[in-house]
Amino acid sequence: MTIDLHTHSHFSDGTKSPAELVYLASISGVTALALTDHDTMAGVAEAMAVADEYDVEVVPGVELSVVHQEHVLHILGYYVDPLQKDMAEALAVLQKARDRRNEKIIVKLQDLGVDATLEELQSISGVGQTGRPHIARLLMDHGVVRSMPEAFDKYLAKGCRAYVGRFAYSAREAIAFIRAAGGLAVLAHPIQVDKTLSVLNSLLPLLKTYGLNGIETYYPSQKKKMQKRIRKFAEKSDLFLTGGSDYHGDIRPGTRLAGGHNVYVPPELLEKMKERLAQKE
């Protein structure tokens, strides 16, 4: 048995519905699953509605992309109340910023001779919010690129011809929103911040002063030696450990939920996280 505290549905850039994710967890030996869509909690209610049916504990969550000095960080929020005023307003701002970026990217693509429209993009996105992975699929549909990596490498990645930046909160602001909404704040996949992890020595104590509660230790690309180093950093800063697959569905072929050869997340981590949540109350 394992748990998975980092997954995405079609309400952000995943391909499965929240209910499908919970069902997949039930047949994959995942006893608890956190839905952590990017900048939205719109799918949480659907996931929680089927939790009992599939005998999977669902943890309400969100993943916020933030800036901190020269770094782009991802902060996971767990047990967040999406209806809390400040959090709801913060998520609305982020979603509007994504919409504005999408419009600008489409204009850039049209200027480059790509006959793409916002209406086509919306039909690909369906429910939830729309992001660059959906635009990548639009480029594939138009025969401009053959794969999503090619779409990002040629058009959508930072510095490429159709790239457009968007508004992001600071790490301090994002952690404050999560904490004010009753949640716990966790630094996601530290390997993506710094492959050597050396920045954690100064980064974690500072984020701790902002209210950071934990760090994502178990992650597919963070192997055992790296997990051991992260655990030492966490102990120094009194942070609890979490982990997850960062599963997005068919958008990333060959990936799967936690378990097996992907990543194993010890179930007892969830209990320790709940203990820290109780200490806040």
The pLDDT tens digits of the residues spanning 258-268 come to 997 889 999 99
At 133 the pLDDT is 87
Query: H or E segment at 214?
Result: strand 214-218
Please name the residues in contact with 42: beta carbons below 8 A apart, sequence gap of 6 or more: 11, 127, 128, 129
Q: Is 40 exposed, middle or buried (0-12, 13-18, 19+ CB in 10 A)?
A: buried
User: What's the per-residue H, E or C state across 57-112?
Assistant: EEEEEEEEEEEECCEEEEEEEECCCCCCHHHHHHHHHHHHHHHHHHHHHHHHHHHC
Compute CA distances 212 → 129, 162, 216, whole Å. Answer: 27, 34, 12
Report, as ranges of residue numbers, the positions in the chain whose pLDDT lies below 50: none
Length of the chain: 281
Q: Confirm if 186 and 270 have CB atoms less than 8 A apart.
A: no
- Three-state SS at 29: coil
At 52 the pLDDT is 97
Residue 27, phi then psi, degrees to nearest 5? -95, 0
In this prediction the pTM is 0.92
At 281 the pLDDT is 63
Domains located in the chain, CATH noted: 2-89+167-280 (3.20.20.140), 102-156 (no CATH)
Please name the residues in contact with 231: beta carbons below 8 A apart, sequence gap of 6 or more: 217, 241
